[in-house]
Structure 1
């Protein structure tokens, strides 16, 4: 009988040990899942934080770009339009006084007409920079071709272009964004890159729009983060973001500049 109870006690001990081991294993699994989940959540939070910071940088870039554009327009209005209107005002007051000889009257009148024509031309240029009429009337393809031809005619840079763009594929607002990107890239090539030649290619394939731009300028080290923080690059990045697109940028010192935008 004693031997029977001894065996029974052993079974109970074994069962208790087994239950205890199962409890320990369960606790270990719970701790493992807890800390694993904690790491996953931490990584997700880090990722979201990076995305939020990136969005903040883009928004800040858009704000800075808008302010720069406002300053430029204000400067154009002040330097170009206001000065010409002042000349018109002075000449109009001379006519108002009525103390001019017939010859002087004709001279002043011709001066007013001449400055008025120049003022209208300046106003047209400012309006063209704000929204090119050809973009609104004929679309992105014609607008980029006209832009490239104007640079070719100025001989500041030689632009070779091939644009296969389905008309009205993008909304008018998004066409304006891509047009502004093109302007920014060409201006950067001329002013900063000292490029002599550049190419613009636009293709459409598998419901994706590819914008390929390259120049033969002095380039820069694209691996350096600081080089990507310039206003021009941030402006391009912000507009690509507004287009829900992605871009790949490549540049090396004295080896030109390349960018591929996919929308």
Structure 2
């Protein structure tokens, strides 16, 4: 283990240990607090519901008290009137009263009239809870509560309900009502979610503080250990980038001079010799000499144009990267006799000019290497512009790079990689199967905001 690694471990491990301990204790204590708080909230809401349902039963008892005590018109008439009154009393959206006889027969149920007249002593809710039996037991004990699952009319589905029942001993009636408490679960869930979010936020803050502390430590160690090396690397990359820029500017200047100056001068001289040639038809020797000079001038003009194009193809500036690569492929195929298949997407305005130049130079250098070293008969070039990334693939069917793969330290390969890395891209060179070489370049692209051809 190196000294730098030991220094990093000594600096970071205590921070991680302390932060983990603090986070664990915080999480444990917060979990206990959440459970206590949610239980308190649930109990507070349940207490309020109990009081509400007791008040509702008291109201129902008051409404039938005179009938129960006096039984005017006889017991049956009093009971029928009491049933009518209880059927008509509702509260809230789902509040109603029910009455069961001691054998479990329902005689009042305004929301579920199908139950009236039926004997429901053995009725169980979905959890296997005997609803009527337990309500009857609570009522006979002097009035009490019972929680069960029951149909909720407004929702059309089952929900948990808090029931309260009392006995009317003279009539052998169990009178009760209830409130649905599914809203308690929602409120408790909200409270729990709020507490949990706070805990998570606290743990996240601890995590971020730890990360910041670690980053600060790493930065300090890196600054002490590697500042000079990073400074040198940065300056070297900056110098390399500057050299490439100056080189391209000089290439462009020389290319322009060759094309606009020397080439034009040679063309002018050619026009002059053509004029001499046309005006001296009777002088055979002069005609032969003029024709020889014209051939030499044509070769010179073609060579100047070739050099100018190699230095800086004007099509790259005028028509864009895609057209320039197609032109380069055609020229290479004509000069080398190697078949080139090319497919190049247009990059539009999503790459800076310097990046397009870098890609063009990479293809140019790769084709030069193919011609010199690969003994290939076929080359494939693919330029694919994705949503965020451009991919360039150059593959040949030649002898391939030797195995094991070399460190790719040649000047040409290094220049290719540095050009790509300058623009945030990567270049990978690999062998394809038993033979052939593939170069794969990826480069980030700007967001597609306009449609101008590039």
Do these two structures clear the TM 0.5 threshold for a shared fold by scoring above it? yes
- How far did 1:256 drift? 2.2
- What's the CA shift for 1:35? 11
> Which of residues 220, 238, 250 in structure 1 aligns to 2:418?
238
Q: Does 1:215 find its partner at 2:400?
A: no
Shift of 1:151: 3.0
Tell me, yes or no, if structure 1 residue 123 matches structure 2 residue 304. Answer: yes
> How much does 1:232 deviate?
1.5
Structure 2 distance, partners of 1:216, 1:149, is 18
Check if 1:195 corresponds to 2:346.
Answer: no
Structure 2 CA distance, aligned partners of 1:171 and 1:202? 16
1:247 aligned partner:
427
CA contact (8 A) 2:396 2:436 kept: yes
**Rg (Cα) greater in structure:** 2
**2:283 corresponding residue in structure 1:** 102
Partner of 1:260: 440
> What aligned pairs does 1:65-84 form with structure 2 within 5 A after superposition?
none
**CA offset at residue 191 of structure 1?**
0.9
Partner of 1:17: none
Q: What is residue 406 of structure 2 aligned with on the other side?
A: 224
RCO higher in 1 or 2 (8 Å CA, sep ≥ 6)? 1
C-alpha distance 156-261 of structure 1, shift in aligned 2 (>3 A): same
Deviation at 1:216, TM superposition (A): 2.1
CA distance in 2, matches of 1:145, 1:254: 28
Matched, 1:205 2:371: no
Alpha-carbon displacement from aligned partner over 1:123-177 (angstroms, at most 9, x marks no partner): 1111111111222221111111122223334463222222223323323332222
What's 1:178 paired with?
359
Is contact 1:249-1:260 (8 Å) kept? yes
What secondary structure is seen at the aligned counterpart in 1 of 2:369?
A: helix
Could you tell which deviates more after superposition, 173-182 or 156-165? 156-165
Write the mapping of 1:12-27 to structure 2, written as runs, cut at 5 A: none
Which 5+ residue runs of structure 1 have no aligned equivalent? 1-31, 96-100
Distance in structure 2 (CA, Å) of the matches to 1:151 and 1:161: 12
Residue 342 of structure 2 is aligned with which of 132, 156, 161?
161
| 3-state DSSP of counterpart to 2:374 | coil
Residues 257/52 of structure 1: CA separation in 2 closer, same or farther (3 Å cut): farther
Once residues 221 and 403 of structure 2 are traced to their aligned partners in structure 1, the CA distance between those partners, rounded to angstroms, is 33
Please tell me the root mean square deviation across aligned C-alpha atoms, in Å. 4.0
For 1:184 and 1:222, locate their aligned partners in 2 and report how far apart those are by CA, in whole Å: 23
Instruction: Name 1:10's counterpart in structure 2.
Output: none
Query: Secondary structure of the equivalent of 1:229?
Result: coil
CA distance in 2, matches of 1:195, 1:47: 46
**TM-superposed deviation, 1:214:** 1.8
* Pairing 1:49–2:229 present: yes
Instruction: Report deviation, 1:58.
Output: 8.7
